[in-house]
């Protein structure tokens, strides 16, 4: 399985990573090499095998519906790149 | 003082032979002396350490000493430490002062341990050589030209050079065991769910597990005792009771059934490493163990499977690093998309971006079944291999890594070759099993690690098996020259 | 060409839990920005989600309420996309294995006909934060208080054929979630949000391309938005164009829908099971406990009201519209001892007064027991209906119980035949010409003219004479 430049552009956009025009071939090559390694999986017959999402066979534990958190806005926003009036600021979102 | 075990140090502290402040100063002095050669720490916290040490001394004087009271340790910089920079080895988090403590951190605090600082690591734990760190490579104390392994390379180098008594680490595909092997120390990756992941910055959530890097199995038992156990903040935390890990260390190994998977002794294994492993197995035979051949037929697929599962999970886990609420934000973003793309591209290093891209691809429309679902199915097969093997044996042994430490730069430009250095460790993560790496006879002056894999929640057995060998041999006592 | 409209709704009901679905932060509405966004809601590095039991309980109750297949094993998945109000870069939702499977609800159409609308599924997920577009020097402000609030997304089959049906279905779901106490249903505050998938097709033809309508915050706007969109699609198709699959925002000021250009790119959400959460497994004990205290559902209650209180379908439907109203009615009936009378008064006098005051039943100044006490006095002839209205006014504005007001103001009805006969005699004597005219008239006319004498008697008795007795005595006297 080898990736085209357009594949790289597509997944880079989905992942919100900037890949320069000049890097596209190199990245496509790198990723294709990894996909070759990954292609070893095709040697396994997995028909009827249940996918294992998790190493332990446990069920989700449920938390009581209690408010346990206090307001830590000042603490949390002291490490934020840009805030004003308690809000996180980002470039204008167009809707 | 720096060569003493945790038990010896604890006894010395309680007997008043030295104080924790003295002990902490001694380690800080060593760090000052050797750190420039190693680069094993990202952040040092001397004031924090000395305050903690003074507190521990007061506790000891009051006779209410917790098990690790006054013992200087280090945390891998993947664990959040309240008020202290937590970088995860990334430019992305270079400015990140964690606003809370990871459960592992608070438990070691409660146990009285004194944190000296945060150790270097591969960026977001993605690497096997510590070369992907934004903070530069870590040097292997056995030979500065060599890598320490990764991703917990800073923890491994610091413990090996006796810059701290023990350190925490995390292991997603071998990141505790492999650097422990390459640096000649003892590294324990517990069963998935044994140690809380809360506050441990996620790489691949279904594989990540916190553990310890120590100088001996006995030290590892004390460290694990402090961090293991159920945490209500982690849905994947196991409610299994925590046994006493130190008490059964001395149990006899007579009748122990050791399985040697033939797949772990294949053509990829360095001959010298193989001989060291065989020597250690012979030692176990002398201790009364029975050695049998087992097979893990699907283990050859573990690297391929891992490089779908881990990148897929990481591609999603690392989406939160978007320059909005914390971490790196690019200068003067033109618009929202520019903010995202430049913050992430400038904040993440090459290997992290590579894995995010692979993972995004594996999950994308049209490829999910062929990659992600297929990998989850093989994961089941690999897990079944172990289940069958553990019906016949108590532990599985083999090499931790196919080679000894390689040269810095040797594999840095070849991701796939680098990935294959985790070929023997990854399967345990896919299955969620505990594993330990302990030093055995060195090969040409370089450390070699014996990997012991146990059944679920059999950490006590692993430590017992490791400890008995360390009672009979002195491989683990070797200190790199000059430290 | 004759077009058929096809509508499916996606309803997001915020669950009325105290804390968030995966964190212990409060879900209270209206707090200062980001003061209810904890480390988990902010998606700080290293944090992990733990599922709120109550959110699961509420989903189980909803499942039972619509007779759905409750899934004993459901799985949370990550829906990956970047947006500033989505802190982790993914939304935790349920994808392949939702907690609530197929179910249905019955809706009552205008013509009195019942129709069943299929519910495809309902799943648990977390809400996103809010983007505030007021001008922060050309920037957008992000408030994550709402991030992590539990939602039940209820997805219908494309079973509805008109805006009215869609509204009836949405109202039905709204009624159910409020009955079973899992959602406050406040559409203005966004705790009950309706998105409509609308398409048109030639009658009986293939399904057309659908548009998804968002930003609808009332039932009235739902109807308008769909009607506008249907007309728009007909115009597009009839002028030879093609309907584009897209998301359109409803603008209530202009009463139109318009394309959301910013979301034009095709989304690839890369769903996969969330490795931080484990499968939710429900056993009988959990389900039984979740369903304990489950109230009587609106349909059953309506049927029972018809039966037990001899009410018409439409009266019963009106009185069971909300659980509070139905509870009020039943409490009033118990006190009044007359179900019809209670129905008439609650749908008439009380509803009118509430409406004028802009109040809902929970805010009524007259409690059900007090209203029932008033009605009891009508039923036992202590006061007439007319006097009762006066008493009602007093109770509404000044408070107090009917009996005390009747007592203090001497409003008790005169039922003593002798006393009424005395007044009747006086009225007859005082109006000889009207009496004469009455006696000359035929029966039909007499019936009309009787009203004059009744009025005179009532006036003389200050409205307190029992009207039935007055009628009877007058007729006897005049016909003598």
One DSSP character per residue, C55-83 reads HHHHHHHHHHHTT--B-SEE-EEEEE---
Three-state DSSP class for B438? Answer: strand
Best to test chain C binding among A11, A16, A69 (most C CBs inside 10 Å): A69
Interface confidence, given as ipTM, is 0.97
Please indicate whether residue B262 is annotated as part of the active site: no
Q: What is the pLDDT of residues C49-70, one digit of tens each?
A: 999 999 999 999 999 999 999 9
Contact B90, B134 (CB under 8 A): yes
Show pLDDT as tens, one digit a residue, over chain C (480 residues): 789 999 999 999 999 999 999 999 999 999 999 999 999 999 999 999 999 999 999 999 999 999 999 999 999 999 999 999 999 999 999 999 999 999 999 998 878 788 999 999 999 999 999 998 876 788 999 999 999 999 999 999 999 999 999 999 999 999 999 999 999 999 999 999 999 999 999 988 888 999 999 989 999 999 999 999 999 999 999 999 999 988 999 998 998 898 886 454 568 999 999 999 999 999 999 999 999 999 999 999 999 999 999 999 889 999 999 999 999 999 999 999 999 999 999 999 999 999 999 999 999 999 999 999 999 999 988 888 888 999 999 999 999 999 999 888 878 878 788 888 888 888 888 888 888 888 888 888 888 888 888 888 888 888 888 888 888 888 888 887
Closest partner CB to A69 (pick from C24, C51, C261): C24
Answer whether A84 sits within 8 Å of C262, measured CB to CB: no
> Are C345 and C371 in contact, with CB atoms under 8 Å apart?
yes
Q: Does A60 touch chain C (CB under 8 A)?
A: yes
| Placement of tokens 């029972």 in the chain | C304
pLDDT of residue C260: 80
Residues on chain C touching A78 (C-beta within 8 angstroms): none
Same domain, B199 and B312: no
B399 shares a domain with B371: no
Contacts of B163 (CB under 8 A, 6+ apart): B27, B30, B31, B34, B35, B38, B40, B41, B74, B116, B157
- Please judge whether B100 and C51 are an interchain contact, meaning their C-beta atoms are less than 8 angstroms apart: no
Q: Tell me whether residues C37 and A76 touch, CB distance under 8 A.
A: yes
Question: Which residues are CB-neighbours of C378 under 8 A, at least 6 positions away?
Answer: C338, C341, C384, C385, C388
Q: Are B74 and B216 within one domain?
A: yes
B402 and B372 in one domain?
A: no
Partner-chain contact B377 A46, CB within 8 Å: yes
Domain boundary among B378, B411, B432: B378
Number of compact structural domains in chain B: 2
Q: Pick from B78, B98, B124, B325 the residue to mutate for testing the C interface (most C CBs within 10 Å).
A: B325
Pair B451, B435: CB distance under 8 Å: yes
Cβ neighbours, 10 Å, residue B469: 21
**Segment A43-59, tens digit of pLDDT:** 999 999 999 999 988 99
In a domain, B14, yes or no: yes
Do the Cβ atoms of C162 and C57 come closer than 8 Å? no
B365 and B398 together in one domain: no
- The span from the CA of C179 to the CA of C339, in Å, is 22
**Predicted pLDDT of residue B93:** 98
Quick one: tokens of C252?
């209530």
Are both B316 and B238 inside the same structural domain? no
CB distance C77 to C185 below 8 Å: no
Whether residue B478 lies within 8 A of chain A, CB to CB, comes out as no
Is residue B31 in a domain? yes
Quick one: pLDDT at residue C264?
47
Residue that terminates a domain, selected from B378, B407, B442 = B378
Mark yes or no for CB contact B316/C78 under 8 Å: yes
Q: Is residue B279 part of a domain?
A: no
B104 near B118, Cβ under 8 Å? no
Helix, strand, or coil (residue B216): coil
Residue B149 to residue B140: CA distance in whole angstroms: 8
In a domain, B282, yes or no: no
* Closest CA–CA distance from residue A48 to any residue of chain C (Å): 18
Using left for φ > 0, alpha for ψ between -120 and 50, and beta otherwise, residue B380 falls in: alpha
Q: Are B190 and B209 in contact (CB under 8 A)?
A: yes
Do B365 and B396 lie in a common domain? no
Q: Which residues contact C447 (CB under 8 A, 6 or more apart)?
A: none
**b/e string for B365-392 if b means 16 or more Cβ within 10 A?**
eebbebbbbbbbbbbbbbbbbbeebbee
d(CA B456, CA B451): 16
For residue C76, the cross-strand partners are C94
Chain B CB contacts of C52 below 8 Å:
none
Please compute the mean of the pLDDT values over residues B354-379 and round it to a whole number: 96
Q: Which residues of B touch A43 (CB under 8 A)?
A: 301
Chain B: closest CA distance from residue C47 (Å): 6
Question: Could you tell me how many residues make up chain A?
Answer: 95
Q: What is the DSSP code string of C27-59?
A: --TTPSTTTT--TTTTT-TT----EEHHHHHHH
* Predicted local distance difference test score (pLDDT) of residue C267: 80
- pLDDT mean across residues, chain B: 97
Instruction: Determine, yes or no, domain membership for B410.
Output: yes
Point out the catalytic residue in the list B106, B133, B155, B175: B175
Task: With respect to residue B367, please indicate whether it lies within any of the assigned structural domains.
Answer: yes
Pair (B362, B422) in one structural domain: no
Tokens of residue B406, six digits: 């390689």
**C-alpha to C-alpha distance for C309 and C299, rounded to whole angstroms:** 15
* B451 found inside a domain: yes
pLDDT at residue number C468: 84
Higher pLDDT, B1 or B369: B369
**Is there a domain that residue B230 lies in?**
yes
Distance from CA of C152 to the nearest CA of A (A): 16
CA distances from B18 to B12, B13, B15, B54, B60 (A): 6, 6, 8, 12, 11
Percent of chain B with pLDDT over 70: 100
Instruction: Report CB contact under 8 Å: A86, C133.
Output: no
3-state secondary structure (DSSP) of residue B206:
coil
Domain with B127, as residue range(s), is 6-256+392-477
B352 plus B434 within the same structural domain:
no
Residues of A whose CB is below 8 A from C131: 93, 95
* Residues of chain A positioned with their CB less than 8 A from the CB of C84: 88, 90, 93
Q: Which of B378, B403, B421 is the last residue in one of the domains?
A: B378
Min distance A92 CA to chain C CA atoms (Å): 5
* Beta strand extents in C127-167 (DSSP E only): 130-136, 139-143, 150-156
Q: Known catalytic residue: B129?
A: no
State yes or no: pLDDT of B181 exceeds 50. yes
DSSP helix, strand, coil percent of chain C (3-state; round to 5): 40, 20, 35
Q: Which chain C residues are within 8 Å of B336, Cβ to Cβ?
A: 84
- Burial class of residue C184 (count of CB atoms within 10 Å of its CB; 0-12, 13-18, 19+): middle
B touches which chains (3+ CB pairs under 8 A)?
A, C
Question: Could you tell me if B118 and B183 lie in one domain?
Answer: yes
> Rounded to whole angstroms, how far apart are CA atoms C4 and C201?
5
How many DSSP H helices and E strands does chain A contain?
A: 3, 3
**B319 is known as an active-site residue:** no
Whether B157 and B202 share a structural domain: yes
Q: How many CB pairs under 8 A join A and C?
A: 126
- Cβ pair C270:B326 closer than 8 A: no
Task: Kindly state whether residues B194 and B323 are assigned to the same domain.
Answer: no
Which of B76, B118, B446, B461 does the annotation list as catalytic? Answer: B76
CATH number of the domain residue B26 falls in: 3.90.1300.10
Alpha helical stretches, state H, C96-192 = 163-179
pLDDT at B140 over 90: yes
Interface test with B, best of C39, C263, C270, C280 (most B CBs within 10 A): C270
Q: Do A69 and C140 touch (CB under 8 A)?
A: no
> CA of A80, closest CA in chain C: separation in Å?
11
């Amino acid at each position: 399985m080898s990736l085209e430049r357009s594949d790289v552009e597509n997944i880079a956009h989905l992942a919100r990573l900037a890949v320069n025009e000049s890097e596209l071939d190199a990245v496509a090559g790198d990723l294709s090499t990894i996909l070759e390694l990954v292609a070893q999986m095709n040697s396994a017959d997995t028909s009827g095998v249940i996918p294992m999402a998790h190493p332990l066979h446990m069920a989700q534990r449920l938390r009581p519906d209690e408010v346990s958190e206090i307001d830590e806005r000042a603490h949390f926003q002291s490490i934020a790149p840009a805030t004003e009036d308690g809000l996180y600021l980002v470039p204008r979102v167009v809707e | 003082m720096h060569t003493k075990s945790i038990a010896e140090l604890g006894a010395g502290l309680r007997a008043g032979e030295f104080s924790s402040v003295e002990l902490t100063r001694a380690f800080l002095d060593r760090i000052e002396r050797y750190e420039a050669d190693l680069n094993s720490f990202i952040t040092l916290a001397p004031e924090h350490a000395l305050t903690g040490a003074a507190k521990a001394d007061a506790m000891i004087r009051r006779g209410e000493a917790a098990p690790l009271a006054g013992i200087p340790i280090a945390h891998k910089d993947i664990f959040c430490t309240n008020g202290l920079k937590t970088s995860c080895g990334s430019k992305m988090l270079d400015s990140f002062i964690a606003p809370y403590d990871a459960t592992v951190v608070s438990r070691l605090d409660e146990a009285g341990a004194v944190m000296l600082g945060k150790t270097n690591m591969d960026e977001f734990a993605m690497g096997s050589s510590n070369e992907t760190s934004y903070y530069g490579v870590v040097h292997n104390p056995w030979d500065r030209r060599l890598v320490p392994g990764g991703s917990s390379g800073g923890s491994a180098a610091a413990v090996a050079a006796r810059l701290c008594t023990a350190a925490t680490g995390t292991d997603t595909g071998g990141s505790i065991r492999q650097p422990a092997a390459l640096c000649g120390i003892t590294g324990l990756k517990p069963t998935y769910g044994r140690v809380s992941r809360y506050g441990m910055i996620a790489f691949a959530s279904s594989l990540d597990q916190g553990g310890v890097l120590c100088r001996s199995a006995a030290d590892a038992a004390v460290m694990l005792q402090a961090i293991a156990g159920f945490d209500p903040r982690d849905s994947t935390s196991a409610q299994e009771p925590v046994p006493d890990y130190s008490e059964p260390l001395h149990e006899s190994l007579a009748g122990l059934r050791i399985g040697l998977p033939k797949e772990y002794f294949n053509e990829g294994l360095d001959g010298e490493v193989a001989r060291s492993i065989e020597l250690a197995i012979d030692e176990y035979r002398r201790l009364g163990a029975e050695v049998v051949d087992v097979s893990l037929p699907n283990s050859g697929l573990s690297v391929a499977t891992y490089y779908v599962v881990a990148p897929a999970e990481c591609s999603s886990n690392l989406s939160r690093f978007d320059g909005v609420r914390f971490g790196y934000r690019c200068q003067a973003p033109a618009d929202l998309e520019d903010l995202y793309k430049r913050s992430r591209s400038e904040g993440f290093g090459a290997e992290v971006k590579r894995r995010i891209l692979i993972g995004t691809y594996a999950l994308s429309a049209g490829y999910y079944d062929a990659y992600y679902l297929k990998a989850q199915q093989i994961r089941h097969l690999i897990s079944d291999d172990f289940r069958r093997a553990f019906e016949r044996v108590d532990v599985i042994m083999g090499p931790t890594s196919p080679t000894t430490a390689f040269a810095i730069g040797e594999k840095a430009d070849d991701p796939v070759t680098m990935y294959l250095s985790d070929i023997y460790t990854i399967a345990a993560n896919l299955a969620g099993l505990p594993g330990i790496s302990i030093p055995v006879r060195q090969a040409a002056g370089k450390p070699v690690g014996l990997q012991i894999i146990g059944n679920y929640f059999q950490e006590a057995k692993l430590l017992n098996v490791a400890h008995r060998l360390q009672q009979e041999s002195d491989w683990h006592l070797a200190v790199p020259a000059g430290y | 060409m004759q077009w058929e409209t096809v509508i499916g709704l996606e309803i997001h009901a915020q669950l009325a839990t105290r804390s968030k679905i995966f964190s212990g932060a409060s879900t209270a509405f209206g707090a200062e920005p980001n003061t209810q966004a904890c480390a988990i809601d902010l998606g700080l590095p290293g944090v992990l989600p733990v599922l709120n039991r109550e959110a699961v309980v509420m989903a189980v109750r909803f499942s039972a309420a619509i007779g759905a297949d409750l899934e004993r094993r459901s799985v949370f998945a990550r829906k990956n996309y970047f947006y500033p109000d989505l802190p982790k870069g993914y939304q935790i939702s349920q994808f392949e294995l939702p907690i609530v499977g197929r179910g249905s609800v019955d809706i009552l159409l205008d013509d009195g006909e019942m129709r069943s609308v299929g519910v495809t599924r309902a799943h648990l997920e977390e809400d996103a934060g809010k983007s505030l577009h007021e001008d922060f020097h050309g920037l957008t402000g992000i408030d994550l208080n709402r991030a992590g609030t539990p939602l039940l997304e209820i997805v219908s089959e494309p079973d509805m054929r008109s805006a009215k049906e869609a509204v009836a279905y949405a109202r039905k779901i709204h009624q159910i979630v409020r009955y079973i106490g899992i959602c406050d249903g406040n559409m203005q505050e966004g705790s009950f949000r309706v998105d409509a998938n609308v398409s048109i097709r030639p009658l009986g033809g293939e399904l057309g391309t659908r548009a998804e309508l968002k930003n609808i915050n009332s039932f009235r706007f739902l109807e308008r938005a769909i009607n506008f969109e249907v007309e728009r699609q007909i115009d597009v198709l009839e002028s030879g164009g093609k309907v584009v699959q897209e998301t359109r925002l409803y603008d209530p000021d202009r009463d139109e829908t318009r394309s959301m250009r910013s979301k034009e790119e095709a989304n690839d959400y890369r769903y996969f099971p969330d490795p931080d959460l484990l499968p939710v497994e429900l056993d009988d004990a959990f389900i039984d406990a979740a369903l304990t205290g489950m109230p009587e559902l609106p349909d059953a209650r309506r049927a029972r009201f018809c039966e037990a209180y001899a009410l018409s379908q439409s009266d019963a439907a009106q009185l069971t519209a909300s659980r509070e109203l139905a509870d009020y009615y039943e409490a009033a009936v118990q006190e009044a001892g007359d179900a019809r009378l209670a129905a008439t008064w609650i749908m008439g006098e009380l509803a009118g007064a509430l409406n004028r005051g802009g109040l809902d039943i929970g805010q009524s100044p007259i409690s059900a027991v007090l209203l029932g006490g008033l009605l009891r006095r009508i039923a036992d002839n202590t006061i007439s209906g007319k006097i009762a209205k006066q008493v009602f006014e007093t109770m509404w504005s000044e408070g107090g119980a009917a009996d005390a007001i009747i007592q203090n103001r001497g409003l008790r009805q005169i039922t003593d035949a002798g006393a009424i006969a005395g007044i009747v005699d006086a009225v007859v004597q005082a109006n000889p010409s009207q009496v004469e005219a009455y006696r000359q008239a035929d029966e039909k006319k007499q019936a009309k003219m009787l009203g004059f004498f009744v009025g005179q008697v009532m006036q003389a008795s200050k409205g307190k004479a029992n009207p039935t007795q007055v009628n009877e005595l007058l007729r006897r006297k005049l016909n003598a």
